């Protein structure tokens, strides 16, 4: 029985009914990894340990929530004794001595980590082209990017190799690749999931989340991934609900906001058509649409490109070739060691962002850029606070269009605008989800829902109702061209 394209729920049932053993499931997963290795979705595999864990589960039954479920981990989470590169040359030899809290949470709930997925270097990119380990291919078409930065995770799920993968989202890195690969991905409220063991990019924006084939699977994963963690001072100490409990609740009467300032007429007409059809579909489910104004939303991307590089330049100063990671050959003195280890270890996009960060934080520019951006960030958050007085959720397209060709976007700013619809939720710390909502030229396209702080249950409920009554999320790519 094939396991390709199965959901967590389906695989759990197969294991429970003993249609397949734990060992067979993991073996079959690695067969798929090999079959689709041209996707370049994985940087490091965990084959031996994964098979060992599966065998142990076959010998001793377990009632853990995710017992035996194969999962792919973004290579941004540190994994004990398993190489963690963050898509960078500077960490290409790094074997962490501990695991991230998210990894521990998932593995102790029975998940089997099958490997580490490819990603844009240090999560800086929207196409997976900045990875030191080469670009990832989108299962939906030759030479299409999978989006980024969690591109390897998105491609692995879209190709049906694994039912789920972890991702991280600083400006859209879960939702944008989910949109471009035709899968579901949620970025929870900032602080819901521990950042302990997540290699930091922009600490006030970074948030981990699940990527899967369905909203229901995302809810199942959220139940395990969320926890209060004393090792992360920004981890929320709030009650964690059972995210699966209210999935099926009726959504009649919900109010969804449409952002007045997002001028969709500038987008491809087929992209707009998909969005309008999703709106109509929600209307048929009893949802009411209300126009909301977010007056400062057009400044989200410029705000992001001050705040994120500033935090990144500070966070990435730890990579200096001294304590771990790669060191240059034969440094002549300490200064030379720092400069050459970093210059050889980082790729162009990472260097670009470190320099922007160093510039906006430097003496004389701090107020004009960094402080100003933080003030605009407050204005954007205030805009959302006002909007959520009128509506339950806000809906936008996830991306400006479907997957684009690798190498087609060479202007950094053009690439930055790829995050136009996703960045605002990170700035305001709000939860956002992307679900498959249609196709343009046989390429998937996502719909984004943004909720108020801590309202993931409602977000998942409204998204699940869409999937219960549509079949966009059930479509699978024809990958003969890829394998």
Site membership for another protein, residue 339 (CB under 8 A): yes
Q: Which is nearer to another protein, 189 or 437 (CB)?
A: 189
CB of 419 to another protein, least distance (A): 13
Q: Tell me whether strands 443-451 and 432-440 are parallel, antiparallel or unpaired.
A: antiparallel
Query: Among residues 323, 389, 471, 480, which is the contact residue for another protein, using CB under 8 A?
Result: 323
Site string for another protein, 396-435 (x = CB under 8 A): ---------------xxx--x----------xxxx-----
Does residue 321 belong to the site contacting another protein (CB under 8 A)? yes
What are the residues facing 451 on neighbouring strands?
393
Q: Is 257 in contact with 391 (CB distance < 8 Å)?
A: yes
Interface residue with another protein, options 322, 386, 474, 483 (CB under 8 A): 322
Token duo for residue 41:
């979705």
- Binder of another protein out of 376, 393, 449, 462 (CB under 8 A): 376
Q: Check: CB of residue 255 under 8 Å from CB of residue 391.
A: yes
Contacts (Cβ under 8 Å, ≥6 apart) of 244: 216, 219, 220, 223
Determine which residue in the list 381, 440, 475, 476 makes contact with another protein, applying CB under 8 A.
381
The residue from 313, 396, 399, 448 that contacts another protein (CB under 8 A) is 313
Is 352 a residue that touches another protein (CB under 8 A)? yes
Inter-residue contact 392 to 292 (CB < 8 Å): no
Q: What are phi and psi of 464, to 5 degrees?
A: -65, -40
C-alpha to C-alpha distance for 30 and 22, rounded to whole angstroms = 13
Sign of CA dihedral 299, 300, 302, 307: positive
CB-nearer residue toward another protein: 168 or 467: 168
Q: What is the DSSP string of 153-175?
A: HHHHHHTTSSSEEEEEESSSTTH
237 binds another protein (CB under 8 A): yes
Window 177 to 206, contacts with another protein (CB under 8 A) = 190-191, 204
> Is 62 near another protein (CB under 8 A)?
no
Residue 241: other Cβ atoms inside 10 A: 15
Q: Which stretch binds another protein (CB under 8 A): 103-111, 266-274, 337-345, 436-444?
A: 337-345
Give the 3-state secondary structure percentages of the chain, helix then strand then coil, rounded to 5: 40, 15, 45
The catalytic residues are 74, 149, 173
Rg of the chain over CA atoms, in angstroms? 21
233 binds another protein (CB under 8 A): yes
Residue 65 is a binding residue for another protein (CB under 8 A): no
Give residues in contact with another protein (CB under 8 A). Answer: 94-95, 97, 190-191, 204, 230, 233-234, 236-237, 296, 299, 302-303, 305-306, 313, 317, 320-327, 331-340, 342-343, 346, 351-352, 354-360, 362, 369, 371-379, 381, 411-413, 416, 427-430, 453
């Amino acid at each position: 029985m094939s396991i390709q394209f199965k959901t967590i729920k389906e695989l759990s049932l197969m294991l429970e009914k003993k249609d397949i053993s734990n060992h067979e499931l993991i073996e079959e997963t690695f067969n798929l990894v090999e079959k689709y290795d041209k996707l370049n979705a994985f940087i490091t595999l965990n084959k031996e340990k994964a098979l060992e864990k599966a065998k142990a589960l076959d010998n001793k039954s377990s009632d853990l929530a995710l017992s035996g479920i194969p999962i792919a981990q973004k290579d941004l989470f540190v994994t004990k004794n398993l190489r963690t590169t963050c898509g960078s040359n500077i960490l290409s030899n790094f074997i962490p001595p501990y695991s991230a809290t998210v990894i521990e949470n998932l593995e102790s709930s029975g998940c089997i980590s099958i490997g580490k997925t490819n990603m844009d270097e240090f999560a800086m990119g929207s196409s997976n082209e900045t990875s030191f380990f080469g670009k990832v291919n989108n299962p939906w078409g030759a030479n299409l990017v999978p989006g980024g930065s969690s591109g390897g995770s998105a491609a692995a799920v879209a190709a049906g190799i694994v039912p789920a993968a972890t991702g991280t989202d600083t400006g859209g890195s879960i939702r944008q690749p989910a949109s471009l690969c035709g899968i579901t991905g949620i970025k929870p409220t900032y602080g819901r999931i521990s950042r302990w063991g997540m290699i930091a990019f922009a600490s006030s924006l970074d948030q981990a989340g699940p990527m899967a084939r369905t909203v229901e699977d995302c809810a199942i994963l959220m139940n395990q991934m969320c926890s209060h963690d004393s090792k992360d001072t920004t981890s929320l100490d709030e009650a964690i609900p059972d995210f699966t409990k209210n999935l099926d609740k009726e959504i009649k009467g919900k109010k969804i906001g449409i952002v007045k300032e997002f001028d969709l007429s500038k987008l491809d007409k087929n992209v707009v058509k998909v969005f309008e059809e999703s709106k109509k579909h929600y209307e048929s489910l009893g949802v009411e649409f209300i126009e909301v104004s977010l007056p400062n939303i057009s400044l989200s991307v410029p705000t992001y490109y001050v705040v994120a590089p500033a935090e990144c330049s500070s966070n990435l100063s730890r990579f200096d070739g001294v304590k771990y990671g790669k060191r240059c050959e034969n440094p002549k003195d300490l200064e030379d060691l720092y400069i050459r280890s970093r210059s050889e270890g980082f790729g162009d996009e990472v260097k670009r962002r470190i320099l922007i960060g160093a510039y906006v934080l430097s003496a004389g520019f701090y107020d004009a850029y960094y402080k100003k951006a933080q003030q605009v960030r407050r204005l954007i958050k205030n805009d959302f606070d006002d909007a959520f007085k009128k509506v339950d959720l806000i809906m936008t397209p996830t991306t400006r269009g479907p997957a684009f060709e690798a190498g087609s976007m060479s202007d950094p700013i053009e690439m930055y605008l790829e995050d136009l619809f996703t960045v605002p939720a990170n700035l305001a710390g709000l939860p956002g989800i992307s679900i498959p909502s249609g196709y343009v030229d046989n390429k998937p396209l996502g719909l984004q829902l943004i909720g108020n702080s801590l309202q993931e249950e409602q977000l998942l409920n409204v998204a699940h109702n869409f999937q219960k009554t549509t079949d966009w999320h059930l479509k699978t790519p024809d990958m003969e061209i890829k394998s």
